[in-house]
Amino acid sequence: MKKTMTLSRITALFIGLTAVPGVQAAEVSDKATALAQQTIIVDGHIDVPYRINDNWVDVTTATKDGDFDYPRAKEGGLTAPFMSVYVPASLDNSPASTQLANQLIDSVEAITARAPDKFAIARSVADVKEQFEQGLISLPMGMENGSPIQGDMDNLTHFYERGIRYITLTHSQSNHISDSSYDLRRQWKGLSPFGKKLITQMNNIGMLIDISHVSDDAFYQAVELSKAPVIASHSSLRAFTPDFERNMNDDMLKALAKNDGIIMINFGSGFVSKAAREWRAGLSQARNKYIKEHGDDEATLDAFDAQYRKENPYPYSSLSDVLDHIDHVADLIGVEHIGIGSDFDGVGDSLPVGLKDVSDYPNLIQGLLERGYSEKEIKGILSDNFLRVWSQVEDYAAEH
């Protein structure tokens, strides 16, 4: 199902409005600002809970660090950021993973309790829409790494009841549910026997299935087994980052479209730029060589890293790079399969120029306007596409 260029996009090409790679969008227009403020903006993945668990700050007010707080979210028009309940792979197969997940959910509940005039937990599409009308920022939650399920369907029910609405099946290592794209050990050759049962039960309970982080085999098995659309909550495209399995290739995108699912584009430079990935590989090689020759003393390693970065500046990606990923999906499978999954507060100091924090969504909207996307298409990317998928998952569960 290849997308045909809209008339507005063709016109943009002829009159020179399409952004040139490496060139930032023009000053944000009143139209882009209005779209940001008047449209629900869903971001599929923001790592606030783990950020404030590590170093607590009150995100209901302005904060000096990080990518998210209330004033910046309001400035950017963000209205439904999925709070990522991230559990590191180092806690897999231990009660500590379930404990941490509950603690991080507690932290999201604490945010809404401290500022009920600013935030509210969202458990459904209806909640998001109602809270938007009330002027509140919705905080739906997704679990990044299914480790806390511990092979027990009762835990799935428990976390659903606590407000979790998607589960990223695995993270950086293979777990009891699925193989990971980052883990060379493919113990399950896709999903585990429990993982396959979990897919069915997630469908039945109304839990979105998130295939970001999983291996290719696990992805294909998940979309084959799922009776409802799946999501990639924070992934980008392998067409621009060859050999980076964490991103999705074109065949996977086509399978995602057949499933009626959605890919939510990750903003991190390493996800959208080949140059950034090559820089990271170069640092790792140089660091390993230094350790071999000089040892791994922490202080000297820190000095080495600082000197390397000084001599080899990090090649930040651009807003244009992110837009290229959106264009590719739109042209390959249709704009209706695109969303936003920034990974704010999750990718450190690697965010693109022009998309540095949650105040910058108007820059993205401006870029989309300049590339000829219609208002309807932009609203789809900002939220309508994801809310459609979420509604389909809710509807399937209601029937089963």
Contact (Cβ atoms closer than 8 angstroms) between residue 272 and residue 325 = yes
| Contact of 47 with 344, CB cutoff 8 Å | yes
Q: Residue 289: inside a domain, yes or no?
A: no
Distance CA 350, CA 344 (A): 10
Mean pLDDT per block of 10 residues along the chain (400 residues) reads 34 32 64 98 98 97 98 98 98 97 98 98 98 98 98 98 98 98 96 98 98 98 98 98 97 98 98 96 95 92 94 97 98 98 97 98 98 98 99 97
Instruction: Give the CATH number of the domain where residue 119 resides.
Output: 3.20.20.140
What tokens were used for 207? 């839990």
- CA nearest neighbour of 241 among 284, 201, 266, 273: 273
Q: At what angle do helices 385-399 and 125-133 cross, to 10 degrees?
A: 130
Question: 190 in a domain, yes or no?
Answer: yes
360 within domain boundaries: yes
Phi and psi, residue 98, nearest 5°: -70, -40
Q: Which residues pair with 259 in a beta bridge?
A: none
Q: Is residue 308 in some structural domain?
A: no
- The type of residue at 354 is G
Contact between 251 and 216 (Cβ < 8 Å): no
169: in domain: yes
Number of domains in the chain: 1
Does the model's pTM come out above 0.85? yes
Report the length, in residues, of the chain.
400
Check if the beta carbon of residue 170 is closer than 8 Å to that of residue 213: yes
What local confidence, expressed as pLDDT, does residue 4 receive? 36
Task: Give the helix ranges, DSSP H, for the chain.
Answer: 7-15, 30-38, 48-54, 70-76, 95-114, 125-133, 153-161, 193-205, 216-225, 250-258, 269-272, 274-294, 298-311, 319-333, 361-370, 375-379, 385-399
C-alpha 153/C-alpha 52 separation (Å) is 29
Whether residue 2 lies inside any domain: the answer is no
Burial class (CB in 10 A: 0-12, 13-18, 19+), 179: buried
Q: Is 297 part of any domain? A: no
The range of the structural domain enclosing residue 253 comes to 7-273+315-399
Task: In whole angstroms, give the CA distance from residue 97 to residue 296.
Answer: 29
C-beta neighbour count of 307 within 10 angstroms: 11
299 within domain boundaries: no
> At residue 51, what is the residue type?
R
Residues 6+ positions from 399 with CB-CB distance below 8 Å: none
- pLDDT for residue 26: 54
Question: Which pair of structure tokens corresponds to residue 137?
Answer: 């920022």
Q: Is there a contact between 269 and 350 (Cβ–Cβ < 8 Å)? A: yes
Tokens of 375: 């208002």
Give the pLDDT of residue 2.
31
